Amino acid sequence: MYVNYYDRKVKLPDENNTIGVILCKDKNNAIVEMTLPEDNTQIFASKYQTVLPSKEELQRLLNATN
């Protein structure tokens, strides 16, 4: 929802579609999700890693923070 809002209201016309990474943590749980526009066919990035941490690793990192 936030990615689509940003694309409609904030993103400049010459910018590519927004990609979102959702990291949520509560007392007993950590959630990691990626969001893309529904009709997305390509991903563009100025910086990228060839291997991203897994959802499980990101959850461990979230749980390790206070």
CA-to-CA distance for 46 and 14, rounded, in angstroms? 14
Residue 32's domain spans which residues?
Answer: 2-64
24 Cβ contact partners less than 8 Å away, ≥ 6 residues apart: 30, 31, 32
pLDDT per residue over 4-33, tens digit each? 788 888 889 888 777 777 777 777 777 777
pLDDT score of 43 = 66
Instruction: Work out how many domains the chain is built from and give that number.
Output: 1
Read off the pLDDT of residues 38-66 as tens digits, 9 standing for 90 and up: 776 766 666 666 677 888 888 888 788 65
Residue 25, pLDDT score: 74
Residue 33 has a pLDDT of: 73
Check residue 47 and give its pLDDT: 66
Query: Considering only CA atoms, which of 17, 13, 5 is closest in space to residue 41?
Result: 17
Report how far residue 37's alpha carbon sits from residue 7's, in angstroms, rounded to the nearest whole number: 9
Q: Is the pTM of this model over 0.85?
A: no
